[in-house]
């Protein structure tokens, strides 16, 4: 929890939470972009091929740890639009 931040300063805690939120959103966005490019099939078991079984955040984290995957900026923008449309 927040006790691990070792800070009692509310402004510092707010800044840490904002950084965490931005990091989480970035992973989510990369995961969605990876799904658009069908990279998610490379990371999930062969038993299920008709739908995504990994979370966007987990997929985004896996994509970032592998250097073989490239996501163009246009796909990132497409993923962002898609995520916005999913919330409507």
The total number of structural domains that make up the chain: 1
- Predicted structure pTM score: 0.84
Domain membership of residue 76 as a residue range: 25-86
User: Does residue 15 belong to any structural domain of this protein?
Assistant: no
User: Does residue 62 belong to any structural domain of this protein?
Assistant: yes
Reduce the secondary structure of the chain to three states and give it as a string: CHHHHCCCCHHHHHHHHHHHHHHHHHHHHHHHHHHHCCHHHHCCCCCCCCCCCCCHHHHHHHHHHCCCCCCCHHHHHHHHHHHHHHCC
User: Does residue 16 belong to any structural domain of this protein?
Assistant: no
For residue range 11-61, what is the model confidence (pLDDT) as tens digits? 888 898 899 999 999 999 999 999 999 999 888 877 777 777 899 999 999
């Amino acid at each position: 929890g927040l006790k691990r931040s070792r800070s009692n300063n509310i402004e510092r805690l707010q800044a840490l939470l904002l950084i965490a939120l931005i990091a989480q959103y970035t992973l989510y966005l990369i995961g969605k972009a990876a799904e658009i490019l069908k990279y998610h099939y490379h990371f999930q078991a062969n038993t299920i091929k008709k739908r995504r079984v990994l979370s966007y955040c987990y997929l985004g984290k896996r994509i970032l740890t592998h250097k073989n995957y490239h996501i163009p900026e246009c796909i990132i923008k497409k993923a962002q639009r898609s995520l916005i449309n999913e919330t409507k």
